[in-house]
Structure 1
Amino acid sequence: MIRRSWTPAASIEETLALWAASLREIKKRIRPLFTQERVATNAGLFLEGLLGDEQRKTGWMRAEAAGDPGPWRQQAILGRGDWDADALRDIVRDYVIEHLADDDAVLVIDETGFLKQGKASCGVARQYTGSAGKITNCQIGVFAAYVSRHGHAFIDRALYLPKEWTDDPDRLEAAYVPADVGFATKPKLATRMIARAIAASVPFKWVAGDTVYGVGNIEQQLRRAGKGYVLGVSSAHVFRSWGKRPPVAGTAADIARTRRSSDWKRLSAGAGTKGPRLHDWCYLELADLEAEQSNSANDGLWTRGLLIRRRIADDDLAFFTTWCPAGTAIETLVAVEGHRWAIEDSFETAKNEFGLDHNESRSWHGWHRHVSLVMLAFAMMAAIRHRANPPPPKKTKRRPPAKAKA
């Protein structure tokens, strides 16, 4: 599956050759995960099915594309096979970094829902999901996407288990949930993903997330690691300035009401499908701290702040807690927050084109295996898109013509 809009700079022949070479390389990378050649072959066919043109990536559809008489081989990859989905996750992460790495990249944390019927699928419960915009029967997956100037792709994932699941040993056993898996909040799952990225030396400068992830230990974790962040918080979140900064204290909503019209700046958070994503923004620097006070790996002053976004159409407000090197411009923070759009686009693309939400397995392992294979397919196409659309050469200043000698 190759969108022509992804590779406008390359010919069809060049793109197809790149696609074939990338698929061969991917299959070679994942081969050590499987003890039997037959299973590795079936995994490769599963991946080809995800990359195919079929609208639904069900077991039957993938089997038909692979020439199998039924879906059993495809289903065995998710259920009965003995291979490590976390090892595949790490392969995906390394592949993404190999092709899209940039020191100024943003790690975006977000979640998405998988609508389900019944109660047997691992982690399913009546819970809120933005995918449906309401409380409904679904699974929730927490994801980390790597977003750089070269492109974006998922590098980590985790299935959220509500307490009604972790408090029910029989239900956990029926879904083959490992014995060492207990209840973890979504922010806790996010801190584990960030820790894995840091441990793997993933190059990134910022972390962005919505209001689910602007609480808990994420802020302290990122400060210790020397990473900046723009994390959503609720309107009731309390902010206070200290040190030499002008006095500010109160909830985010109260502080926003005291801002003057001159405090706001109209900026774009990035290009959208209908042009620049313009909002009005206000940024308050609340305190400057020496890096060593937070055990940061970076030297110098860092600033804690409050970023406020106001929608032009109806004045609806959103609030973000920020941490950045002192002197960071509001334009930079707005751009970081705007990177969250990339993971929303990734969810839509992964569901519509790679079958992210077409998993038919009900087990813990089945969910993580299916999602990791989809992440691999998505990463491959992100790398192809980058390689087929090389960035333009840097502009160089033209030298003035030499003066003629007298």
Structure 2
Amino acid sequence: MTQHQYAAAAAPTIAHDRHRELFEDLMGAVASGFPRRETRSTFRQLAEGLLMELENVNCWTLAEAIGHSGPHRLQHLLSRASWDDEAVLDAAAAWAVAALDDGDAVLIADETGDAKSSTDAVGAAHQYSGSLGGIGLCQVAVHLTYATSRGHTIVDRVHYLGRQWAADEERREHTGVPEELMFATKTAQAQAMLEKAHAAGVRASFFAGDEVYGAKALRTTCRRLGLGYAVAVRSSHHLTLPSGARLSAAKAKALVPKGAWQRMRTGTGSKGARDYDWAMLDVHPDDTPADHAEGGVSVLLARRHRYTGTVSYYRCWSPIPASLARLVGIVCLRWKIEEDFQAAKNTVGLDKGQVTTWTSWHRWSTAALVAYAFLAVATALEAGEPTPAGLELVPLSSFELLRLLRLLILPTPRRDAGHVLRWSAWRRRHQHRARACHQRWHAYADSTP
């Protein structure tokens, strides 16, 4: 490949100002959430800073990179400033949905955990998190992704408080958890996000989720909102066949004729194609809303690993008959939210916020998700660009696009000598004061009987 061909391949990405205009459009879409121009300007700087290439991401490093003399403006934005973070996130979500909508969207719910070193952070507790690979000290939040053939991005999130945290009045008061907020299961939180999205005009064809989100109440909500669904269920999940027999999913699978299994490709990974054997069995729906008539098609979908024989199960419902290929495609789309988690954490610091209170956590996550919405939509737009003739290229990933944006479009971190030296002095002075305070406290504690 010649240097000229390399330049031709990069040209569709870097030869225009569309990305600058896209970012300005997003900032205009969320502007109504800020009553003051100064707050709106600081948020814009924060969003740009989250897209910069920084070794660490927190208020100190971001403030230094965007040219502030200290972290106080960003800390004020996250903790005390007057602005509506929920309205800002909703506006960014509406902006992203308008750009990605192809008329056949899928909404996907899942939770992710952020490791913490102390239980002082709101919601931090020893709890299970798939991102940690087990039980660990972390915060957990349930997220909602909007996925289409054009792209996907996270459009909502809800902080999860475990039962003990929700019942601890002292810790609630210390971290600013609203009094009206009660304990809610992850299923209930996903249900609330679906209802909120529907009320906001977000339309989708299906909902997808793992076993956590296969509860009857959530499936009933999907049907009430006009959503089909494809949710994972356990092998012990009980269902009713059209004959009236009630069996577990594992036992119902035995009724599938051997010839009914079909091998289908579910994607291509770094190690080659991923093929599984799939089958579906008609079942009687148990989640028809009280004010709705019976209708649609309810099936149990089974996926069998072609080498190990391990079987996974999915409860599916569609308002109109859906082919096996269609349902398999919905199930496979569930992994888009995992891609969003990985990308949002590695590109815009979704899990890097060193914040402890309820308000600060929501405002940091809002800023990160607004920045990620820009990146997701920009990546989707680039995917629609034609590939130069004669070149074979993989689709432009969000990571590669961000690398180009950092070099060519986004403002660079401020690194002039005077600014860097002032920040070095500020950090050392702050650390000196912190150490002196700790020493005085320990001296007092040691002398008190």
TM-score by length of 2: 0.79
| Secondary structure at the counterpart of residue 299 of structure 2 | strand
Q: How does 1:28-47 map to 2 (within 5 A)?
A: 28-47=28-47
Within the alignment, does 1:366 sit opposite 2:360 as a pair? yes
Within the alignment, does 1:302 sit opposite 2:304 as a pair? no
| Secondary structure at the counterpart of residue 355 of structure 1 | coil
Name the structure 2 match of 1:80: 80
C-alpha change, 1:77 and 1:271, in structure 2 (3 Å) is: farther
Within the alignment, does 1:181 sit opposite 2:181 as a pair? yes
Name the structure 1 match of 2:252: 255
Structure 2: segments with no counterpart, 5+ residues: 1-7, 387-449
- Whether the 8 Å contact between 1:223 and 1:294 is mirrored in structure 2 is no
Cα distance in 2 between the residues matched to 1:160 and 1:151: 27
Within the alignment, does 1:205 sit opposite 2:211 as a pair? no
Name the structure 1 match of 2:12: 11
RMSD after superposition: 2.4
- Whether the 8 Å contact between 2:26 and 2:92 is mirrored in structure 1 is no
Q: Which moved more, 1:331-340 or 1:250-259?
A: 250-259
Within the alignment, does 1:280 sit opposite 2:277 as a pair? yes
Cα distance in 1 between the residues matched to 2:184 and 2:280: 33
Deviation at 1:271, TM superposition (A): 4.2
Cα distance in 2 between the residues matched to 1:35 and 1:174: 27
- Whether the 8 Å contact between 1:228 and 1:324 is mirrored in structure 2 is yes
Post-superposition Cα deviations, 1:58-113, rounded to whole Å, max 9, x if no partner, equal 22221121012332222222112222211112112111111001221100001100
Q: How does 1:113-124 map to 2 (within 5 A)?
A: 113-124=113-124
| Secondary structure at the counterpart of residue 49 of structure 2 | helix
Q: How does 1:141-152 map to 2 (within 5 A)?
A: 141-152=141-152
* Identical columns (%): 32
Q: Which moved more, 1:271-280 or 1:225-234?
A: 271-280
C-alpha change, 1:287 and 1:258, in structure 2 (3 Å) is: closer
Cα distance in 1 between the residues matched to 2:89 and 2:184: 20
Within the alignment, does 1:333 sit opposite 2:321 as a pair? no
Cα distance in 2 between the residues matched to 1:341 and 1:119: 30
Cα distance in 2 between the residues matched to 1:239 and 1:56: 49
Cα distance in 2 between the residues matched to 1:341 and 1:196: 22
| Secondary structure at the counterpart of residue 11 of structure 1 | helix
Deviation at 1:10, TM superposition (A): 5.1
Cα distance in 2 between the residues matched to 1:38 and 1:11: 35
Name the structure 2 match of 1:223: 223
Q: Which moved more, 1:145-154 or 1:364-373?
A: 364-373
Query: What code does the residue aligned with 1:139 have?
Result: Q
Structure showing the higher strand proportion among its residues: 1
| Secondary structure at the counterpart of residue 328 of structure 1 | coil
Cα distance in 1 between the residues matched to 2:266 and 2:109: 17
Name the structure 2 match of 1:315: 309
Cα distance in 1 between the residues matched to 2:285 and 2:114: 42
Name the structure 1 match of 2:261: 264
Q: Which moved more, 1:62-71 or 1:115-124?
A: 62-71
Post-superposition Cα deviations, 1:170-214, rounded to whole Å, max 9, x if no partner, equal 111111111111100000000100001111121210000000000
Deviation at 1:275, TM superposition (A): 4.4
Deviation at 1:369, TM superposition (A): 1.0
Within the alignment, does 1:376 sit opposite 2:370 as a pair? yes
| Secondary structure at the counterpart of residue 287 of structure 1 | coil
Query: What code does the residue aligned with 2:346 have?
Result: N
Query: What code does the residue aligned with 1:376 have?
Result: V
| Secondary structure at the counterpart of residue 21 of structure 2 | helix
Within the alignment, does 1:343 sit opposite 2:337 as a pair? yes
Cα distance in 2 between the residues matched to 1:173 and 1:334: 46
Structure with larger Rg: 2
- Whether the 8 Å contact between 2:206 and 2:229 is mirrored in structure 1 is yes
Count of aligned residue pairs for this structure pair? 379
Deviation at 1:322, TM superposition (A): 0.7
Post-superposition Cα deviations, 1:24-82, rounded to whole Å, max 9, x if no partner, equal 22222333322332222211111011111224322222112101233222222211222
- Whether the 8 Å contact between 1:75 and 1:361 is mirrored in structure 2 is no
TM-score by length of 1: 0.87
C-alpha change, 1:292 and 1:352, in structure 2 (3 Å) is: closer
Cα distance in 1 between the residues matched to 2:358 and 2:170: 14
Name the structure 2 match of 1:160: 160
- Whether the 8 Å contact between 2:121 and 2:356 is mirrored in structure 1 is yes
Structure showing the higher helix proportion among its residues: 2
Cα distance in 2 between the residues matched to 1:96 and 1:238: 38
Cα distance in 2 between the residues matched to 1:321 and 1:135: 27
